[in-house]
């Protein structure tokens, strides 16, 4: 059972890292990216949703993996 707990923790950390990657790339893209026809508010909402969602999933998986540790 310990292997499953460690796997859940590592997958949770991977979701955290994915959220950081999306946030960082969106900031870099805002400075150096090509101008597109989508409104900035729509892009901001999508990026915010992805970051918060991946952080939330990461927290849930890390907590599930650390139960009864």
pLDDT score, position 35: 73
pLDDT digits (tens, 9 = 90+) for 11-68: 999 999 999 999 998 888 877 877 777 788 888 899 999 999 999 999 999 999 888 6
Residue 42: which region, alpha, beta or left (left: phi > 0; alpha: psi -120 to 50)? alpha
Better pLDDT: 1 or 58: 58
Q: Three-state DSSP class for 50?
A: helix
Domain ranges, ordered by start, for the chain? 40-69
Angle at 15 between CA 50 and CA 46, to 5 degrees: 5
Give CA–CA dist 21/25, Å, rounded.
6
pLDDT score, position 17: 95
What are φ and ψ of residue 37, in 5° steps? Answer: -90, -5
């Amino acid at each position: 059972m310990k292997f499953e707990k460690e796997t859940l923790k590592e997958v949770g950390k991977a979701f955290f890292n994915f959220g950081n990657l999306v946030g960082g790339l969106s900031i870099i893209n805002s400075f150096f990216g090509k101008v597109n026809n989508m409104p900035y508010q729509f892009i901001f909402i999508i990026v915010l949703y992805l970051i918060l969602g991946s952080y939330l999933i990461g927290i849930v998986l890390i907590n599930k993996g650390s139960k009864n540790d």
